[in-house]
Amino acid sequence: MLQTSEDSGMRIWTLAMIFLASLVMTASSQEESPSEKSDFLNPSGGQLGIGGDEGFGLGTAVGDPTALYGPTRTPVVLFGTDRESLIDLQGYYTHKFGERQRVLIEGHLDPAFTGLDVSYSYSHDDWEGALTVNSWVSAGRFAPYNIDEFEVILPPGDEPWLQMFGAGVEYVQPFTDELDVAFGVNYSQYAFSDDLLAGDRYRYDQNFAPLTVSSAADTERFAALRVNGLFSTLNDRDLPTEGTKIRFGAEQALGIGRSTTSFHRISANVAHLFPMPGFNDGDHSLLLNLQVGTILGSPPPIRAFHLGGASSVRGYDPSELASGKSFLQGTAEYRHHLKSFNVFDTDVDARLEVFYDYGSSLGTSTSLPGMPPQLSLKPEKGYGYGTGLLLASKYGLFRIETAWNDQGRNGFYLSVGERF
């Protein structure tokens, strides 16, 4: 066990995060017209978005794609599968200095996770893209360490809290109407503690299994170069019924100071929606989604691939299926239009979905550094199937789903946004 005081500034960041995120959630009840396309690209398609180009809002206003780390930023694959989430509240405040500059504060808050991302974006009159700098902080339960039968416990007998902090700079360049690419440089640090905001930090669990890649560091630090891209021909960015969407990304990271982590991570996420026949009028579709990734080197557990949950193999809890250095995940999902109706002057499209998910860590669970050995006993591959109700509106896609996994267990999910 090691206790550190070197990151006392992170405690101040975290307290400020709680205050600002709470402020955002309180004020975001003010209704504004939905955002039009901004100078800084669009937020993730299908994600919650209630608010305007300025002021408070619910959901996210972060551009997509992004090459920055941060608690509210959409990754290439497996969004949120490393988090325990009970009540997922996300909101923002944005202020524009003319048409080419803005400050954005995004807060993410639920009983098991909280985070704050502060960014400044600028686009020169002669630029097609936008430059963004950000700083962020988060703290919460790390889902891979909090699974029944595979739970990780710290030496004092406490469950671990994952504390993270980082900063970065990126430039996002539109190449065509369908393709945008983000280039970024990031600094990131993480530690496992016995307290949400402060506490003692540990590099071993109660069985002396490592929690970090570096045996000499209880706080891991690394810098990363990232390139993330988004190609889309979807007929509707937020509520698509046909077209293709491809996410792809690569990053090279090196440890800083006593940290020995060093890795290269590549991933891709391909989705295609086919028009399909149905039993009534409306847009019916078949969604096929394939996500893959691999890591070379010694990645920290926070950058591994974690399978299971609403954005992965449904029927399993977040990270319950597998954690590894490589993965493959596939989904086939039929979406049938049920009915369109109006609620509070908002058009809502109700769709019935039937789906099948499969995922595998491709035998890489035992080669993942910084992960206690009992976590390699997870199923490592499996499938889930089920049904759900999709409620699509101009404010985002709301998903109510139930699924069974190949071990006969049932799960229930309430989530916002697309899985791809």
Considering only residues 16 and 160, tell me which one the structure prediction assigns the higher pLDDT: 160
- Please give the radius of gyration of the chain, using alpha carbons only, rounded to the nearest integer: 21
Q: CA-CA distance, 154 to 206, in Å (whole number)?
A: 5
What is the number of residues in the chain? 420
Express each pLDDT in 61-111 by its tens digit.
Answer: 999 999 999 999 999 999 989 988 767 789 999 999 888 899 999 998 888
Query: What local confidence, expressed as pLDDT, does residue 86 receive?
Result: 67
Query: Cα(145)–Cα(401) distance, rounded to whole angstroms?
Result: 25
Check residue 164 and give its pLDDT: 97
Q: Could you tell me which residues come within 8 angstroms of residue 167 by beta carbon, excluding any fewer than 6 positions away?
A: 133, 134, 135, 136, 186, 187
Contact 79, 72 (CB under 8 A): no
Least confident of 32-41, 159-168, 181-190, 273-282: 32-41
242: CB partners within 8 A, 6+ apart: 234, 235, 273, 274, 275, 283, 285
> Looking at residue 34, what is its pLDDT?
35
Query: Percent of the chain, pLDDT > 70?
Result: 90
pLDDT tops 60 at residue 17: no
The DSSP code sequence of 280-323 is SSS-EEEEEEEEEEEEEEE--GGGSEEE-STTSSTTS-TT-SEE
pTM: 0.88
- Is pLDDT at 131 greater than 90 in this prediction? yes
pLDDT over threshold 70, residue 359: yes
AA letter at 312:
S
Q: Write out pLDDT tens, residues 45-63.
A: 888 888 888 999 999 999 9
Which of residues 22 and 277 earns the better pLDDT score? 277
359: tokens are 């995922």
CA 311, distance to chain mean position in Å, is 9
Model confidence at 22: pLDDT above 80:
no
What's the gap between Cα 95 and its chain centre? Answer: 24
Q: What are the extents of the domains in the chain?
A: 123-416
| pLDDT the model gives residue 419 | 86
Chain-wide mean pLDDT for the chain?
A: 88
CATH architecture of 123-416: Beta Barrel (2.40)
Encoding tokens for residue 139? 């703290």
Structure tokens at 61: 């206003």
pLDDT at 375: 86
pLDDT top residue among 208 and 32: 208
Distance in Å from the first CA to the final CA of the chain: 40
pLDDT of 184 reads 98
Strand pairing report for 326-343 and 322-324: unpaired
